[in-house]
Amino acid sequence: MIKIGIIGAGRIAHVHARSVLHHPNTELAAVMEPSLSSATAFTQAYGGRPTESIDDLLDEVDAVIVCSPTAYHPEHIVAAARRGRPVLCEKPVAADLGHVDALEAELAGLDATVMIGFNRRFDPSFARLHHLVEAGVIGDVEQVTIISRDPAPPPMDYIPTSGGIFKDMTIHDFDMARHFLGDIVSVVAIGQNLDPALEQTGDFDGAIVTLVNSEGRTATITNSRHCAAGYDQRLEVFGSNGTLNADNVRPTTVRVSTADSTDAQDPYLDFFLSRYEDAYRRELDEFLLALAEGRTPDPTIEDGRRALEIAEAADRSARTGTIISL
């Protein structure tokens, strides 16, 4: 059994703990979290023991999943890297590009293994779609269209700490765009403030972003902090020989037909924990498989850095009304 340590005991830590619990070859060995009572409750649910320092945690584990607040990601990655522990770190890799630079400088020469948790790459539908693109089913990719809308805004007091919509929410879409287009050379973003409840946060509650790669291929991202029909997560890739779509996921296949309407279906799975539960499990699978095979797992810190770079450019574009070249 591979012994896993989790740093942090918040919402996303629970997701990873469940993946560890269900995985046939892993066990949760240790959890580090400032609040001892949270840590204890966490280990009672998933196993392992609470630790008070990162060194204690690293003593007991083979690999680490970093679920701490973003500001602590670099410190926790470096600590694990120094002890030779592979790391799966939640997105975004750091709070801003400056901190990623500093992190990369610290990791230089350490031979660290760090995977960044862009879970959507591992969603069964998006992964299948990517595989079909790689297999050449639609020829060359020309236009990627991503629709990504949350079912409801996060708690109001979370928003000021979120880093803004582009680093917090769109960052997943930026990684997906790069997954299909490679490096991006140009970014233009339109921010929206349509939800009066979110107006005073200073953050956008919707956005339209267009990315272009060096060959002129594009990705268009449509975001909203709310969506009446549920968690709206769709992907279309248009290529020279065809089009691929991945649709929303529903809890059942039931369709209702009456005199008013026909084939009405369930609302979408409405939270990222249910929508992407499989994706988180497959992300852990890939992390462990890469370790077992001695490969560098994807996505890397560099992928995390590029997505963050686009997020910062998008924010600048939306606030200045200009197209930003990278």
Least CB distance to its own copies at residue 82 (A): 37
**Applying CB under 8 A, does 241 fall inside the site for its own copies?**
yes
Q: How far apart are CA 211 and CA 217, in angstroms?
A: 8
Q: How far apart are CA 144 and CA 268, in angstroms?
A: 22
Nearer to its own copies, 102 or 229 (CB): 229
Nearer to its own copies, 111 or 252 (CB): 252
Instruction: State the burial class of residue 98 (Cβ atoms within 10 Å of its Cβ: 0-12, 13-18, 19+).
Output: exposed
Q: How open is the CA angle 136-139-143, to the nearest 5 degrees?
A: 120
β pairing state of 49-51 and 26-32: parallel
Nearer to its own copies, 138 or 307 (CB): 138
**Segment 188-207, which members bind its own copies (CB under 8 A)?**
188, 190, 192-194, 206
Output the CA torsion 114→116→119→122 (10° steps).
-50
SS (H, E, C) 18-45: HHHHHCCCEEEEEEECCCHHHHHHHHHH
**Applying CB under 8 A, does 280 fall inside the site for its own copies?**
no
With CB under 8 A as the contact rule, the residue among 76, 99, 167, 217 that binds its own copies is: 217
Q: What are the b/e assignments for 246-284, b being 16+ CB within 10 Å? A: bebbeeeeeeeeeeeeeeeebebbbebeebbbbbbbbbb
For 140, residues 6+ apart whose C-beta sits below 8 A from its C-beta are 217, 239, 240
With CB under 8 A as the contact rule, the residue among 37, 243, 274, 296 that binds its own copies is: 243
**Applying CB under 8 A, does 257 fall inside the site for its own copies?**
yes
**Segment 92-131, which members bind its own copies (CB under 8 A)?**
124-125, 128-129
Nearer to its own copies, 104 or 236 (CB): 236
Q: By the 8 A CB rule, do 268 and 275 touch?
A: yes
Q: How open is the CA angle 157-162-165, to the nearest 5 degrees?
A: 110
Q: Could you tell me the sign of the dihedral formed by the alpha carbons of 305, 164, 173, 277, in that order?
A: positive
**Applying CB under 8 A, does 250 fall inside the site for its own copies?**
yes
With CB under 8 A as the contact rule, the residue among 246, 279, 288, 313 that binds its own copies is: 246
With CB under 8 A as the contact rule, the residue among 108, 252, 293, 294 that binds its own copies is: 252
Mask 136-165, x = binds its own copies (CB under 8 A)? -xxxx-xx-x-x-x----------------
Preceding peptide of 153 cis, ω within 30°? no
With CB under 8 A as the contact rule, the residue among 9, 61, 248, 272 that binds its own copies is: 248
Least CB distance to its own copies at residue 256 (A): 6
**Segment 303-322, which members bind its own copies (CB under 8 A)?**
321-322
**Applying CB under 8 A, does 269 fall inside the site for its own copies?**
no
Mask 12-31, x = binds its own copies (CB under 8 A)? ----------x---------
Mask 74-93, x = binds its own copies (CB under 8 A)? --------------------
Part in contact with its own copies (CB under 8 A); list of ranges 48-56, 66-74, 236-244, 279-287: 236-244
